Each structure stands twice: as structure tokens, then as C-alpha cells.
Amino acid sequence: MTGRAMASIAVKVWGVILVVGALASSPSTILFATLAPPVGADTAAIRASQIGQMLNVVLQAGLGIALVLVADRVVRWVVPDGPPLRIEVYASELAALAFALVGVYVLVQGAENIVATVYTLLTRPWWPISKDGPFWYVWERQREAIVRALVQIAVGVPLVFGRRAIVNAWWWLRGGVDATADHS
């Protein structure tokens, strides 16, 4: 495997991370886009923010897909060809590593949203006491972060802890070699 091949894999992983991030944030984007502005609010500013967030998700997904599709061409243009690196690694092992990296990235984003929600819960005003309870207060202010965190955790956990099964399914779908075979 050459440095160029490793760079191509890294660019593809980056593209997958962007696509998974866009997919993970799409439920909260849809939720935000469907919310009607409050009465008396600056509707134009809220709509512009909604459109901007939707464009961000679409562009992030588009860039990720483009990176996966044209990674080899980009790497040929940027990275010089060199001698083989003499790294003993199988494609299934690299695929498992890539899925784990994407999963860790998504889980870190989910943790970030959980921390924002917990912070809102801890810093909420204690007076006047709400009859609806503290969780309703947090839901009203952090519903987007809560939904995003749930989706990110639901996506990240299987990517990290089920990466072998994902790699096996991927190789099976592509008609490749059994990734569970002992390569030693």
C-alpha cells in the first residue's frame, strides 16, 4: 500500500464522516425548519436561519459524497506517488477502523448535545416553580439538541461497537472476501 492509497482512504473516511454528520443532523434541521416563528418575532431572520441550516446540511452531505466519489483524483493531484509503505493490513481491518472513527466522531457530537442539554437543565431558573417540571423547560429550549443527540447516539453506538458486523455485511453486499476469516 502506498502513501497515495492511504491518503485516498483518509479522504474517503472524511467524506463518510461528513455524510453521516449531515444525516445525523437532518432530523433536528427538519424539526427546526418546520417550526413556525413566534408571534411578533422577526420572521425574516428566523426564516433565513432555517434556510441557512438546511443549506448547511445539504452542502455538508454533498461535499461528503463528492469526497467519497473523487477521492482518488484529489489524492493523485495532491499527494506524490511514492514507494509502498510495507504495512501489513487487510481492507477489512481498514474498513473496521474507518467505521469506528466515524462512530467516535458521531458519538462525540452526541455527547456535545447531551452536555448542552444538561447545562440548560442545571442553569434553568428555579423561580417561579413551573407546574410542568424541569424537563418541560429543557425540552422547550433544547429540543433540537435532544433529538440530535438521540440520533447521533443511535448511529454512533452501532458504528463503534458493531463495526465488525457492518464490515462483514459490507463485504457480503459487495461480493468480497469474508472479513471474519483469520488473516494470519
* Per-residue pLDDT reduced to its tens digit, 23-77: 878 887 888 778 777 777 677 777 788 888 889 999 999 999 999 999 999 999 9
Confidence of residue 94 (pLDDT cuts 50, 70, 90): confident
pLDDT tens-place string over residues 123-142:
877 766 666 777 788 888 88
pLDDT digits (tens, 9 = 90+) for 154-179: 999 999 999 999 888 888 887 765 54
Residue in the block written with cell 425540552: 139
Within 13 Å, how many C-alpha atoms sit on residue 43's CB side?
Answer: 3
Among candidates 59, 57, 71, 53, which has minimal Cα distance to 14? Answer: 71
Q: Is the pTM of this model over 0.75?
A: no
Q: Residue type at 63?
A: L
Residues 172, 79: Cα–Cα separation, whole Å: 32
| Contact present, 144 and 31 (Cβ < 8 Å) | yes
- The length of the chain is 184
Q: HSE on the CB side for 88, CA within 13 Å? A: 2
